[in-house]
Structure 1
Amino acid sequence: MSDGGIMVLDGNTLRSLHVSLPEDRVTLTGAQVLDFAESEASQSLFGISLPPHLKSSALRRINIDGVDDDTSFRRTELSRDEASRKLSDYLSAIADVLKDNPLAVSILDGNTLRMFLEDEDDFAMIAENLFTDLDTEDKGKISKSEIRNAVVHMGVEMGVPPLEEFPLLNDILKKHEEEEGELGQSQFAELLQPILQELADALAKKHVAFIHKIKIVNGSEIRKVIMSAVRKLITKAHGYGNRNLRASGHKHSMEITGWLVDFTFVKIAIISHKPLQVLADEKKLNDVIAKALHGKHKNDQKSTEIIRDFLEKNGKELGLPPSEANEAVILLYDAVFTDINSGKDVSLDEDESRKLVREILENFAEQLEANPVYCDLDG
């Protein structure tokens, strides 16, 4: 467990999950299949309640889109084989959604609270800091009712779940709020200790999985844009009569009359020695490239500077984290552009400039895959 610490759920555990329908069922309704899949997924993901947006996105991926489709499917009677296929498809879809948009969670099981309670110095410091924060009038006394605010103020980082996520915490607090009065610092610490001990014991029996409001940018959206361009490339290559696709190098590569398309998910590269003008209709990628290269910029700016300025302002539409999010994003941009040849001149021709933009986007995807960036959704 990782009490208070953040863990990333990216769907990998679901991909290795082997789930079978109950043996005694010959037919099942769509509702039973979906409920069973969601229950199994939840158990595999530390018992979290799957967020509505995660379930709806996964359902769309298996062609159940909107209230009408959902209602109709849930009423449908499925044979055991049909139900098994739909179960597998739905779990895979949930895993795919998590790959694109991972969840950041903390598992609260009382360990952090127990560590504080077992170390007298740590506990004394925490109690003192909480008391000082609550003693806004600097009287050396606070109302006994403030103990609730103190515990809630500790937050997930210190192992305390939100009240709405763990109603039992409210019951624990009520037991210690029955008498009115004021508390000095030592009295406050004496009251706080049994409350935290009881909470730690309760969490040990029933863990809480807390989902943080954090966006994890891992390069998945950038890869989608690049892969979309690759697919268009292949489709248009067929249209130009280049139908002779054959393996080249390894099972993830194909050669298309002058193009080598590398489909590995570690790095996606498009290498050309006879450029076909087939990416011109790949709207999203090419629009970004055009805007980056033809926007307003100073005459003496290098190509990399122009592209960086553009991506810092507009990269979000490609799945890049907001440049103002935090220091990690600044370091990400620095790492990407350090790897790119900073000496490239602004006068690069169109094809070279396009290659440079693609190279930068691929570099972002690699960096984010290796080191995802966390962005506060409330920011």
Structure 2
Amino acid sequence: MADGGLTVFDGSLLREATVSADSLFSASGDGDPTTIDGAHLLSEAESVASSLLLGLSLPENLKAATLRRLGFDELSFRSLHFNRESASETLRKYVAAVADELRDDPFVVSVLDGSIIRMLLEDEDDFAMLAENLFTELDRDDTGKLCKSETRNALAQMGVEMGVPSPSDVSLLALLVNAKSDDLLDDILRKHGAEGEELLGQAQFANLLQAVLQSLADALGLKPIVVIQDIKVINGSKIRQILANEELLLDTIDRIFDKQTASELDGGSIRKFRALLEKDGTEFGLPLAGSNEALVLLYDQVFGSLDIQNDEELDKEAFGSAVKQILQEILNQMESNPVFHEPEGN
């Protein structure tokens, strides 16, 4: 798993796991209890799911949605009691429910383990260019000198794409590696003397930045950080739900067909259906096609494979059959090759 690369959490890591609540019973200091309460089981379930997701803490909305899928809210679940068998069964169901939630609404992460930083440092030419660009950008007064303290700003400008975590993520890393302070970055900067107002030339600044980055890469290598990216994964989950519900599918087809023929005497057409998907595919969990080149290419492939001419007018039965075929093919494509979509404003 490459540092800085995008990894999709879609529940597959959890589906392959074997889990048990036995440790909750054997870990008690009062012998072997016959039951445990829901609060302890919920804490264990969240911990198990987190460990299977590379240590990422479950977002609150994911935890709430998982309990709803099991038919509980947090308060009612915590009030329950479980014996050894029912606890293990419920734990398995919880992990499976998290997997199902991630299948329907996956998210994208970057795993920062220091590898991109190390690759950057190993390529002398690439690093020299990066250091020069950062120096020029931070030297706003064009003095040819920078304070040592600007090293922190250089790291902030590099960002997750270059494998450098944000300040909040670095604070988390400090706890994971038992740093001397709550901010690992402070420790690293202090270690290399990258604080204060002493002025450095470009070459000196590059040498200091190199040393700081090496220490940060070493820390990430010991304890990688998983960072959630604000990128939506479009994998056809809403289309899957429509296709799995015959009544919903027929109702959807009826509404689309009626809308197309409301002001015309002819029937529906594939061209009009594609235009609907491109302009407003939210009903099918799809973003605007104009803002996503991968989605346009997918549409070209799916609609280009049809035997029906795009402009051919179809009656409701033929139109419904074509729509179903199109949705199924879009789903097939997205299940194997999800489309990534960055929300507007990012």
Q: Which amino acid aligns with 1:228?
A: N
The answer to whether the aligner puts 1:205 opposite 2:222 as a matched pair is yes
Q: Which amino acid aligns with 2:324?
A: R
Matched residue, 1:308: 274
Relative distance call for 1:52 and 1:295 in structure 2 (3 A) is farther
Alignment of 1:105-124 (within 5 A): 105-124=109-128
Relative distance call for 1:132 and 1:360 in structure 2 (3 A) is same
Relative distance call for 1:34 and 1:287 in structure 2 (3 A) is farther
CA distance in 1, matches of 2:145, 2:255: 63
* Larger deviation, residues 215-224 vs 338-347: 338-347
Q: Tell me the secondary structure at the aligned position of residue 8 of structure 2.
A: strand
Instruction: Determine which of 263, 269, 283 is the counterpart of 1:317.
Output: 283
The answer to whether the aligner puts 1:349 opposite 2:315 as a matched pair is yes
Matched residue, 1:38: 46
Asked if structure 2 preserves the Cα contact closer than 8 Å seen for 1:226 and 1:285, the reply is: no
Q: Which amino acid aligns with 1:10?
A: D
Asked if structure 1 preserves the Cα contact closer than 8 Å seen for 2:5 and 2:111, the reply is: yes
Q: Tell me the secondary structure at the aligned position of residue 168 of structure 2.
A: coil
- The CA deviation at 1:87 is 0.9
- The CA deviation at 1:185 is 1.2
Asked if structure 2 preserves the Cα contact closer than 8 Å seen for 1:110 and 1:200, the reply is: yes
Q: Tell me the secondary structure at the aligned position of residue 309 of structure 1.
A: helix
- The CA deviation at 1:145 is 2.7
Q: Tell me the secondary structure at the aligned position of residue 290 of structure 2.
A: coil
Relative distance call for 1:36 and 1:63 in structure 2 (3 A) is same
Asked if structure 2 preserves the Cα contact closer than 8 Å seen for 1:321 and 1:373, the reply is: no
The answer to whether the aligner puts 1:181 opposite 2:198 as a matched pair is yes
Matched residue, 2:242: 225
CA distance in 1, matches of 2:312, 2:283: 24
Structure 1 gaps of 5+ residues are: 234-278
Asked if structure 2 preserves the Cα contact closer than 8 Å seen for 1:156 and 1:162, the reply is: yes
Identity of aligned residues (%): 46
Relative distance call for 1:208 and 1:311 in structure 2 (3 A) is same
Matched residue, 2:56: 48
Alignment of 1:265-276 (within 5 A): none
Q: Tell me the secondary structure at the aligned position of residue 143 of structure 2.
A: coil
The answer to whether the aligner puts 1:62 opposite 2:63 as a matched pair is no
Deviations 1:253-299 (A, max 9, x none): xxxxxxxxxxxxxxxxxxxxxxxxxx7xx5445434533x33668x9
Alignment of 1:23-172 (within 5 A): 23-24=25-26, 25-64=33-72, 69-167=73-171, 168=174, 169-172=184-187
CA distance in 2, matches of 1:377, 1:344: 30
From the two aligned structures, give the one with the greater helix fraction.
2
Matched residue, 1:287: 255
CA distance in 2, matches of 1:310, 1:296: 16
State the TM-score, normalizing by the size of structure 2: 0.86
Q: Which amino acid aligns with 2:154?
A: A
State the TM-score, normalizing by the size of structure 1: 0.79
- The CA deviation at 1:319 is 1.4
Q: Tell me the secondary structure at the aligned position of residue 213 of structure 1.
A: strand
What is the root-mean-square deviation in Å for CA atoms of aligned residues? 2.4
Q: Which amino acid aligns with 1:96?
A: D
- The CA deviation at 1:302 is 8.1
Q: Which amino acid aligns with 1:15?
A: R
* Larger deviation, residues 138-147 vs 189-198: 138-147
Matched residue, 2:29: none
Deviations 1:356-376 (A, max 9, x none): 222221121112112100011
- The CA deviation at 1:181 is 3.3
* Larger deviation, residues 330-339 vs 72-81: 72-81
Structure 2 gaps of 5+ residues are: 27-32, 175-183
Q: Which amino acid aligns with 2:17?
A: L
The alignment covers a number of residue pairs equal to: 324
Matched residue, 2:20: 20
CA distance in 2, matches of 1:82, 1:132: 63
